[in-house]
Amino acid sequence: MERWRSCPALADKDEAFLAAVADSLVQLEALSPKQRHCLALFKAAELVNALIQIKERREAEDRVGPELAHRSFALVRSVIRNRSLPYAGSESQCLRDPQLTAVIDEGCRLFHLGKTNKELYQQALALSAAQCLALQDQLGPALDQYLQGAGLELPETLIASVRASFIDAYRS
């Protein structure tokens, strides 16, 4: 059995979900170190934004407020549309790589279609889980780089939640 199957984030997932994760991992593990670095930067932005949006919708006690939630959403949306990471410094254009574009586009497609289709939503979650697994060694530093350069003042509790839910939970 693959070691990644023992990570806490996948403990209650069924075999179909785990098979979808395994399929995505094959594609992700073929990425070069530079591609993985750039994808980790994007994934850090995406994870922070996802948690912000979830907390806003649920009106969580530690939410950041509608203005910051909108700024975070707008930043990630801009990155997806422009294929440019404004906070990545010298590699600001790195998301234009065709392999990365394909991974990001597939995640967006599954997420949006998954809003009305439970099966596709599970595929989107499986792809996201595979990204957290494949980028495990780079997500922490990418999150730090994102926080330094994104221009968003985020509470430490939110950052701790991102680390716990999407970095620590995927360690096996």
For residue 75, the enclosing domain spans 15-170
Task: Flag whether 136 is in a domain.
Answer: yes
Q: List own/partner pairs for 89-96 with CB under 8 A and 24 or more apart.
A: 89/149, 91/34, 91/37, 91/38, 91/41, 94/34, 94/35, 94/37, 94/38, 94/41, 95/38, 95/42
Task: Flag whether 53 is in a domain.
Answer: yes
Task: Flag whether 93 is in a domain.
Answer: yes
Domain count, the chain: 1
Handedness of CA 79, 47, 26, 19 (dihedral sign): negative
Task: Flag whether 153 is in a domain.
Answer: yes
Q: Does residue 91 surpass a pLDDT of 70?
A: no
Task: Flag whether 118 is in a domain.
Answer: yes
Task: Flag whether 19 is in a domain.
Answer: yes
Task: Flag whether 62 is in a domain.
Answer: yes
Structure confidence at residue 28 as a pLDDT band (50, 70, 90): very high
pLDDT digits (tens, 9 = 90+) for 114-171: 999 999 999 999 999 999 999 999 999 999 988 888 888 899 999 999 999 999 999 8
Q: What is the pTM of this model?
A: 0.91
Task: Flag whether 66 is in a domain.
Answer: yes
